[in-house]
Structure 1
Amino acid sequence: MIRNRFLPTEGIHNFRDYGGYSVAGGGTVKRGLLFRSGQHVAATNDDLAQVGDLDIRTIIDLRGESERGNNPCRRIEGFDAQVIAYEGETTSSPPHMDIDAQTTTAEYARQRMMAVYTRMPRNPAMIEMFSRYFRALDERDGASLVHCFAGKDRTGVAATLLLHVLGASKDDQMEEFLLTNHAPTLDVLRAQSVPSIEQRLGRKLDEDAVRALLEVHEDYLATYLAEIESDHGSLDAFITRTLGVDDAMRERLRDKFVA
């Protein structure tokens, strides 16, 4: 089950289908329509051919302008999908690279990541992009891809929000979030992240610190959800009032993505 979710990519980290989960009231989130990944800056030609076969018509790029400028995604020849992106910065740095001179131990790295998930619920740029993500899924046909730098933090939250709206259980939402740790392409993200982090620090990272930054943990997502509940009373209230996903949109999304 885990293995057949991931595409066997060489230069794209964490590319997978996040459908296939059972939903309340019966049915299953459709496969082949909802994809997620890290950035495609190092995509190989074979990777691009695989992506091209998926008929992805909409890409929601959660990175900010500087991330996109520094890491332009490769696209297959004839690429014509609509790319939705934020006109500005969505974060001061990719969440797993939000580090300072003390980020050399696993515990400190974990605390830095938890700080990222504490801030994300109140980040206006991310609120806007999550809202645009839902609108795109509602309004556009065909398969979609949501991605950020690593495809695990901002992208992981986006997938969680959609699975919640579609009726997947909390356990399955967390399972999907943590599935990132089974991605067979961690070396891709490591190559894109660790050298620049160590250059900024002027020293080597502990291996446990590397994993804390490049993987995800249950308390990361739990922190995000706790902040949402504290500010809005419930995740549903946040999704409805702040992201603009009303009952009619929920029904349309379920009709489109649940079989």
Structure 2
Amino acid sequence: MTTPSHADLPRLLPSASNFRDLGGHIGHDGQRVRHGRVYRSDHLGGLTPADLQTLQGMGLTHRIDFRGAAESAALPCEVAGITTLPLSIEPTVVQRVQALIGEGTVPTEAQAVALMCDTYRGFVREGAPVYARFFRHLIEQPTPVVFHCTAGKDRTGYAAALLLGALGVAHDDIVQDYLLTNQYFRRSPLVQARGPAHVMDVLWSVQPAFLDAAFAAIDEDFGGLARYLEGPMGLGPHEQTQLRALLLEEA
């Protein structure tokens, strides 16, 4: 597999969690995803002054925020010089867990995994218009961008997987990049989410099964990633060529 080095990631923005550059993977026609163009992260709401200065010096022009309204209000992260594009996908899985507990049912670990898989299927189906806007923005604003949600692992992880898939990165490399969350994510004391420990351990991690559920839904509902990208994502041949020209370079 062709996985970029992430050895220095924890030092890039120490006060952020799961912040990383998607560059370095080998994509379409052996071209490499450009470094310094697309970053993924957690909420960015707890940056130290030093990390805020680092972020402002990275050439970023836009911040795409997948968080829901209450999440964004609880942890605002406006950064001078960086335009915010809210592409809200409201969280549901914690609420579903709390509803079950309220009914007297404590979910098992397997049930928590199933809830997460359902969440990812929702990204594919109900979330499609939001992710289509994500791709449209990348093409229309060809400047460095960071996209994130609260933990930077689910809504953000699915967006990263779709983007790498559109750029022709091998599926195994997409999964490996997705699973880096388990290495770099740290639970934020600023985020309030309560539930049984064995359930929260599932909700605050990523598993191959989550992303597998999304890609299985893409296959079942749309006939594969290529058709999903051309259909709901609005990436026809012309748009795919544009995206690749912006984000790929000779390896």
1:1-259 paired onto structure 2 within 5 Å: 1-75=5-79, 79-86=80-87, 90-93=89-92, 95=93, 98-100=96-98, 101=101, 102=105, 105-123=108-126, 126-183=127-184, 185-188=185-188, 191-193=189-191, 196-198=192-194, 201=195, 205-206=196-197, 208-259=198-249
Q: Secondary structure at the match of 1:197?
A: coil
- Residue 122 of structure 1 and its aligned partner are, at CA, apart by 1.6
Q: How many residues align?
A: 240
**Residue deviations 1:196-239 (CA, integer Å, cap 9, x gap):** 333xx5xxx32x43321111000000001111111111111111
- The whole-number CA distance in structure 2 between the counterparts of 1:43 and 1:26 is 36
Contact 2:78 2:84 in 1 (8 A): no
Instruction: Give CA-to-partner distance per residue, 1:95-149, whole Å, 9 cap, x none.
Output: 56652214564333222212211222121xx222211111111111321111011
2:129–2:232: 8 Å Cα contact kept in structure 1? no
Q: Percent identity?
A: 27
Give the aligned residue type for 2:97. Answer: I
TM-score relative to the length of structure 1: 0.85
SS of equivalent residue, structure 2 residue 54: helix
Distance 1:112 1:178 in 2: 18
Q: Report the CA distance between 1:252 and its aligned residue.
A: 1.1
Instruction: Give the residue type in structure 2 aligned to 1:252.
Output: Q
SS in 2 for 1:22: coil
Off by >4 Å, runs of 4+ in structure 1: 95-98, 102-105
C-alpha deviation, 1:43, in angstroms: 1.6
> Cα RMSD (Å) of the superposition?
2.0
Change (3 A) 1:97 1:155: farther
CA contact (8 A) 2:60 2:145 kept: yes
- Secondary structure of the structure 2 residue equivalent to 1:25: helix
Residues 1:258 and 1:92: Cα distance change in structure 2 (over 3 Å): closer
Amino acid at match of 1:161: L
| 1:56 counterpart SS class | coil
**One-letter amino acid matched to 1:90:** I
- Whether the aligned pair in 2 keeps the contact of 1:22 and 1:168 (CA below 8 Å) is yes
Instruction: Indicate the larger mover: 146-155 or 105-114.
Output: 105-114
Aligned to 2:84, what secondary structure does the other structure show? strand
Say which is worse superposed, 48-57 or 7-16, in terms of deviation: 7-16
Provide the rounded CA distance (Å) in 1 between the counterparts of 2:106 and 2:133: 33
Seen in structure 2, the aligned counterparts of structure 1 residues 227 and 9 have a Cα distance that, compared at 3 Å, is same
Give the secondary-structure state (helix, strand or coil) at the position aligned to 1:219: helix
* Equivalent pair of 1:98/1:113 in contact (CA under 8 Å): no
Tell me the TM-score normalized by structure 2.
Answer: 0.87
- CA deviations over 1:61-85 (Å, ceiling 9, x no partner): 111222212221152xxx1222211
Determine helix, strand or coil for the equivalent of 1:73.
Answer: coil
Q: Distance in 2 between matches of 1:197 and 1:104?
A: 15
Task: Give unpaired runs (5+ residues) of structure 2.
Answer: none
CA drift at 1:57: 0.8
